[in-house]
């Protein structure tokens, strides 16, 4: 083919008409070859893609850790099955806990009281151990919001997932970073979000896991660290900012992290979006200084494609992925819901996808 193009291109025309015909043929053939060559990389890139756009759920294995050869860095979430927003026959309960804590945000250390809500699965039995998730609300919401919004859809979802065998019975706690009323601007809540992980480790986890049976043998620092494989933290919006602070400052207390629609502000407000490489390097150093490199943690990040914070978190995840020796598909993935906006509505779908990954059903 290339020899013929060369011959046509340099062939001496016998007439003006023949010259125009030859030139036209030459340009058409050259254009065809050019398009063909451009398409080759696209063909090779798409050769390994699945025929269906539906993402493949990774095989977590016995330890709940995926291997890098069967996980994609960015996938779409699976829809919640029909009926999971309805009441199950066996319903869990939500319990309010008021606990003593301190002022960690404003620096006074003054004694204060905070409130959290605890989901207990149907038939909670103190003779067995339960995995646990701490899930933090967004701005203008409260500790109660996660279980109240959407006509209690999150509690119904947990009940249905347990009833259908998607997960083992587990405990979910919804704390609050608000000191009374929320700040006028969500960005001004930053110091309170940063303070919450410290409050959880020092005050709330000992209260909750001292009262209810989890994998913590003791609720001191050593007991909390020893049971971190069975403890997750996540949150939406400013709750995601809180989750990144937990990864930064309390990695020894949690193994599983679920930031939804919010970036890391450890280097300043919106630094995860505006300084993704600096943020990634900072977090990588924190990991490398810990005993939890490799598969010692997992970041299950998520956002909707129409979410106002979509680029904030995705840019940071892309920056972290560029440090593949620290962050890769053995410990970090990004999950997106097509068309989802920055609101409570998609949260049940994120939970439906994340919880079986964190705490797969124990078929034994």
- The answer to whether position 115 is within a domain reads yes
Q: How many domains does the chain have?
A: 2
Verify that 11 and 95 share a domain, yes or no.
Answer: no
Verify that 92 and 11 share a domain, yes or no.
Answer: no
Verify that 31 and 83 share a domain, yes or no.
Answer: no
pTM of the model: 0.82
- The answer to whether position 52 is within a domain reads no
Verify that 29 and 159 share a domain, yes or no.
Answer: no
Reduce the DSSP state of residue 308 to 3 states and report it. coil
- The answer to whether position 9 is within a domain reads yes
- The answer to whether position 57 is within a domain reads no
Task: Identify the CATH number of the domain in which residue 230 sits.
Answer: 3.40.50.1820
Could you report the per-residue pLDDT of 93-149, keeping only the tens digit for each?
A: 999 999 999 999 988 999 999 999 999 999 999 999 999 999 999 999 999 999 999
- The answer to whether position 40 is within a domain reads no
Verify that 24 and 142 share a domain, yes or no.
Answer: no
Tens place of pLDDT per residue across the chain (364 aa): 333 322 223 233 333 333 333 443 444 344 333 333 333 333 323 223 233 333 333 333 334 444 445 679 999 999 999 999 999 999 999 999 999 999 999 889 999 999 999 999 999 999 999 999 999 999 999 999 999 999 999 999 999 999 999 999 999 999 999 998 899 999 999 999 999 999 999 999 999 999 999 999 999 999 999 999 999 999 999 999 999 999 999 999 999 999 999 999 999 999 999 999 999 999 999 999 999 999 999 999 999 999 999 999 999 999 999 999 999 999 999 999 999 999 999 999 999 999 999 999 986 5
Q: Other C-beta atoms within 10 Å of 120: how many? A: 17
- The answer to whether position 212 is within a domain reads yes
Verify that 21 and 123 share a domain, yes or no.
Answer: no
- The answer to whether position 363 is within a domain reads no
Verify that 156 and 14 share a domain, yes or no.
Answer: no
Could you report the per-residue pLDDT of 215-232, keeping only the tens digit for each?
A: 999 999 999 999 999 999
CA dist list (Å): 248 to 203, 207, 272, 283, 321: 19, 23, 13, 7, 17
Q: Are 303 and 261 in contact (CB under 8 A)?
A: yes
Phi, psi (5° rounding) for residue 88? -85, 160
- The answer to whether position 364 is within a domain reads no
Verify that 27 and 113 share a domain, yes or no.
Answer: no
Could you report the per-residue pLDDT of 149-169, keeping only the tens digit for each?
A: 999 999 999 999 999 999 999
DSSP for 210-255, written as a single string? HHS-BS-S-SSHHHHHHTGGGEEEEEETHHHHHHHHHHHH-TTT-S
Cα torsion 352, 355, 360, 363: sign: negative
Verify that 217 and 335 share a domain, yes or no.
Answer: yes
d(CA 157, CA 300): 19
The per-residue pLDDT for 25 is: 41
Q: Strand 332-337 relative to strand 256-260: parallel, antiparallel, unpaired? A: unpaired
Verify that 147 and 17 share a domain, yes or no.
Answer: no
Verify that 16 and 112 share a domain, yes or no.
Answer: no
The beta strand positions in the chain, using DSSP E, are: 74-76, 93-102, 111-120, 132-136, 171-174, 231-236, 256-260, 298-304, 332-337
Verify that 262 and 320 share a domain, yes or no.
Answer: yes
In terms of residue numbers, what domain contains 14? 2-35
């Amino acid at each position: 083919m290339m020899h013929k193009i060369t011959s046509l291109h340099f062939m001496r025309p016998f007439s003006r008409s023949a010259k125009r015909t030859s030139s036209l043929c030459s340009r058409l053939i050259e254009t065809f070859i050019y398009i063909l060559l451009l398409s080759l990389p696209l063909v090779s890139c798409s050769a390994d893609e699945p025929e269906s756009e539906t993402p493949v759920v990774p095989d977590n294995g016995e330890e709940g850790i995926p291997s890098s050869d069967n996980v994609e860095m960015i996938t779409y979430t699976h829809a919640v099955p029909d009926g999971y927003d309805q009441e199950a026959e066996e319903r869990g309960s939500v319990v309010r806990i008021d606990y003593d804590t301190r002022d960690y945000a404003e620096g006074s250390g003054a004694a204060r009281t905070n409130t959290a809500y605890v989901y207990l699965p149907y038939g909670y039995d103190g003779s067995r151990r339960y995995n646990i998730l701490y899930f933090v609300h967004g701005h203008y919401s409260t500790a109660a919001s996660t279980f109240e919004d959407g006509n209690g859809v999150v509690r119904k979802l947990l009940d249905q997932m347990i009833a259908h065998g998607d997960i083992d019975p587990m405990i979910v706690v919804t704390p609050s970073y608000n000191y009374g009323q929320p700040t006028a601007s969500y960005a001004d809540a930053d110091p309170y979000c940063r303070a919450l992980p410290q409050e959880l480790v020092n005050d709330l986890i000992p209260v909750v896991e001292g009262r209810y049976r989890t994998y913590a043998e003791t609720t001191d620092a050593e007991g909390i660290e020893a049971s971190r494989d069975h403890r997750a933290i996540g949150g939406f919006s400013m709750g995601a900012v809180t989750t990144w602070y937990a990864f930064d400052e309390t990695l020894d207390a949690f193994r599983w992290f679920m930031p939804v629609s919010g970036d890391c502000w450890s280097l300043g407000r919106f630094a995860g979006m505006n300084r993704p490489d600096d943020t990634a390097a900072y977090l990588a150093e924190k990991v490398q200084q810990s005993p939890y490199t490799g598969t010692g943690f997992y970041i299950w990040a998520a956002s909707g494609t129409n979410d106002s914070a979509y680029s904030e978190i995705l840019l940071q995840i892309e920056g972290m992925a560029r440090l593949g020796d620290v962050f890769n598909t053995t410990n970090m993935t990004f999950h997106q819901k097509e068309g989802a906006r920055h609101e409570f509505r998609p949260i049940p779908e994120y939970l439906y996808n994340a919880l079986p990954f964190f705490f797969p059903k124990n078929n034994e």
